[in-house]
Structures are given as C-alpha cells and as structure tokens.
Structure 1
Amino acid sequence: MKKRRDSILISCTNLVLPILLTLGLYIIIHGHLSPGGGFQGGVLIAGAIAIIYIGYGFKGVNKGIAANTFKIAEDIGALGFIILAFIGLVGSGVFFGNILEKGNPGDLFSSGSIFLMNFAVGFKVFAGISFLLLIMIANLKSKGEE
C-alpha cells in the first residue's frame, strides 16, 4: 500500500524552503555585521534537507544530490578555509591575515577577509550537516519508514 503525501505538508514545504535558503544565505553574507555567520547560516541551509524530507519523503530527498557529493563539498569548504589562511600568511605575514581592503564600518564588504572566511565556513557546515542528515534519512528508509 502506497502512502499519499499530504498536500498541505507539500505546500508548506514549498513555502518555507525558499525562505529558509534565503535566510541562511543572508546570515552567512552578513555574519560579520550581526550575530550569526558561516556556522549558523550553514546549518539553516542544511535544514532544507530535513524540510524536503518532511514534505516529499525519502524519494524527494533521493532525487537531489547524492551523499558523496556533500562529502566532497565539505572537503572543498575546508580546503577553501585553509587556503584563505595561507593566502593571509603569504599576503600579510600572519596566518589568517587580512588580504582584502577593509571598507567603511557597517558596509557589506567592510570586514576584509572575514567575509570570505564566513562563506567558506558556511559552505563546509552546509555540506557536512547535509551529509549527516542524508545518512540519518537513509537509515530511516532502511528500517522501513518513509
């Protein structure tokens, strides 16, 4: 017997998903100006996997990106963060040194390299948490739940 997905649940998923993704990206981009940053924004964006699972079930999540892709993406995020640290070392003589010009306080590009570091951390956290969520969802599927 095949379960039918609730249309209200799917509609709410379709409504909440773009808001969640936009808010997560906003928090990553504005992390140096307000509370939040790469970690918090990355977790919010990764929450999209859980929302898709709630709305569309295992098949909806499985249509997306494979778990291996998230594993590789997490490595790329970590590598980007490390590269930024070494570019700071080469460019300014200090590990994680600022290599970009600081703008006016309060402006979006006012933090120099911290803006790029927030983005790298956000990408790594998004990929890592998404990978963990996919593993948990796959375990639910293997136990017969959908």
Structure 2
Amino acid sequence: MALPYLRGLADGIDEVGCGHGHQIARATVDMLTMLFGAALGTAPPEAEDRRARQRDAVEQWIGRNLLAEDLSPGRIAAEHFMSTRTLHSLFAEVGTTVGEVVRGRRLALAGELLMRHPGLPVAEVVRRAGFADPSYFARSFRRRFGCAPSRFRDRGC
C-alpha cells in the first residue's frame, strides 16, 4: 500500500505546489506511522492519549450514572457515540472490562454504605448500590472484600 504511494509521490514531486510540501510530508508520516503501528500491534502516542481520554470520560459517566437500571455496555457505548466493540476494547487495553468497572464501583459504594450506616439492612445496601440480584451481590462482595457484607459492616474484614 505504501510503496505505490511513495513511488507516485516521488514521480510527481516536481508538480507539488508551493507551500504544500509540509502538508504532504505530514500526511505521509501519519500514514506510515499507522501502517507500521498496525503491523507491529502498536498505536501512535496521540491515539493512546485519545483512547485514555475516552476511557476516562466513560468512567466518569459510569460514576454519575451508577444507579441507573440499564447500565449495560450497549447503553454506555451509545451514550458515548461508539460501538460496544470499541467500548470493550477501551477497557481491554488496560486489562479490565466495562462490567468489572461498573461492578467495582457499585461494590465500593456498598462498602461505604455499610460502614457509614451500620443500621442499614444489607438488602437496602444492595438496592442503593445498584445491584438487582442480592445473591450476585453477596458473591461479588465476598470475592472483593473477603467476607460477607454483614461481617464487613460489623467488624470489617
């Protein structure tokens, strides 16, 4: 792909209008960076920065909408004008999933609620933290904190 372009560029270099050389050089370097990056499995730094900013924006949005009933990857992706595949790849790049981010945030909120409000029933903590299934919450909580929610509230783990 690059070789025919470079040959054509070399053949027509004399026809390039005054002042366009820098634009052509920049476009050529960008194209080669993308080609070699794709071949080597790397992305240019500006692409990595852009994806990090996208991931940060998604994480902030998740934090603001943590209690929404439909906090699915599809909804999150739609809110950020991206495909679910792109959303999943944003988090795969840093070794996690969007589901793990949501669950982690909700579990952190549950832990905070248990510590701040010791008289609050665990069922209410489940609801306030955005979990729909108490059994799933209990299993996830135990995996994250190493003990049951009631024990965490009473004595910590």
Greater RCO, CA 8 A, separation 6+: 1
**Same-fold status (TM-score > 0.5):** no
**Larger radius of gyration between Structure 1 and Structure 2:** 2
| TM-score, normalisation: structure 2 | 0.29
